[in-house]
Amino acid sequence: MTISDSTVAIIGTGNIGSRLAANFAAGGQDFLLAGRNAEAARKIAAGLDGHAEVVSVDEAVERAGVLVVAVWLDAFRQLIAQYGGRLAGKVIIDPSNPVGPDGAGGYRKVIGEQESSGQILAGLLPAGARLVKAFGTLSAGSLSAAARQEPDRAVLFYAADDDAVGDLVSDLIRAGGFDPVRVGGLDQSIRIEMFGDLHEFGALGRVVTKSEALKAI
Ligand SMILES: NC(=O)c1ccc[n+]([C@@H]2O[C@H](COP(=O)([O-])OP(=O)(O)OC[C@H]3O[C@@H](n4cnc5c(N)ncnc54)[C@H](OP(=O)(O)O)[C@@H]3O)[C@@H](O)[C@H]2O)c1
């Protein structure tokens, strides 16, 4: 299966959802766009040359085989609890960083030091749903600014347990204007979440191209 055989949806029309929508549209990728606020989704879609079809979250879950869930970790958990078995057979793409405000203008991790939101969420999914960790390794600003970078594309890391879903997400990363680099299975998610060594705000500390990324992993 390739991404052109799949119906893709973005759930969440905030900072990341709207920037991914713009990046996908710029790459010619069609998708469903779903948020709690249909008016906000329509405003985003209006600037995307017909690449985004605004639907409800229910309809996105019903129709899409590949769901990019661009919401915070708690909301993600709630969506999994709400849709449960209806997610079976879907590819769930998880950009979440398990962070919240630290009370001093910064961020702190909201799960255990050695835990990753990717593994926690994968453990909550019904049998047959497959999670890929992707699209969360750069800040929202870099996700826009570094898309379609020339001469060498910037990298988006991903983690996947399964080659077939890894290939699908790679197609989507390319459509969004980045070079995909796999860090390994979902047990490597922690490396590409915020504070992880391959996150823009972790030890790596910057946006990288493929040759730099391959040295870092
Ligand atoms: N911001 C960054 O720089 C960045 C970078 C990498 C990864 N991430 C990750 O990306 C995810 C989204 O972050 P963000 O910055 O885009 O947050 P955001 O701007 O606050 O947007 C979150 C979106 O989630 C929507 N939402 C919440 N519950 C929902 C539900 N049940 N159904 C549908 N939509 C729902 C919100 O809808 P309403 O508008 O109705 O509240 C909002 O549109 C987070 O997990 C974050 O860790 C963020």
Q: What digits encode the pLDDT tens for the residues 165-177?
A: 999 999 999 999 9
Question: Looking up tokens 């849709």, which residue turns up?
Answer: 83
Q: For residues 171 and 165, what is the distance between their CA atoms, to the nearest angstrom? A: 10
% of the chain beyond a pLDDT of 90:
96
Q: For residue 109, is pLDDT > 90?
A: yes
The pLDDT of residue 72 is 97
Ligand 1 and 12: CB distance under 6 A = yes
The pLDDT of residue 53 is 98
Residue to probe by mutation, ligand 1, list 42, 71, 142, 207, most atoms within 8 Å of CB: 71
Q: What is the pLDDT of residues 19-59, one digit of tens each?
A: 999 999 999 999 999 999 999 999 999 999 999 999 999 99
Question: Which pTM value belongs to this model?
Answer: 0.97
Ligand 1 and 36: CB distance under 6 A = yes
Which pLDDT band holds residue 180 (cuts at 50, 70, 90)? Answer: very high
Which pLDDT band holds residue 71 (cuts at 50, 70, 90)? Answer: very high
Ligand 1 and 37: CB distance under 6 A = yes
Residue to probe by mutation, ligand 1, list 72, 92, 110, most atoms within 8 Å of CB: 72
Q: For residue 2, is pLDDT > 90?
A: no
Q: What is the pLDDT of residues 113-157, one digit of tens each?
A: 999 999 999 999 999 999 999 999 999 999 999 999 999 999 999
The pLDDT of residue 1 is 73
Q: What does the block give as tokens for 143? A: 């996700």
Mean pLDDT score of the chain: 97
Integer Rg of the chain from CA: 16
Residues in the chain: 217
Ligand 1 and 11: CB distance under 6 A = yes
Ligand 1 and 166: CB distance under 6 A = no
The pLDDT of residue 170 is 98
Q: Which atom in ligand 1 lies closest to the alpha carbon of residue 75?
A: 28
Q: For residue 8, is pLDDT > 90?
A: yes
Q: For residue 198, is pLDDT > 80?
A: yes
The pLDDT of residue 22 is 98
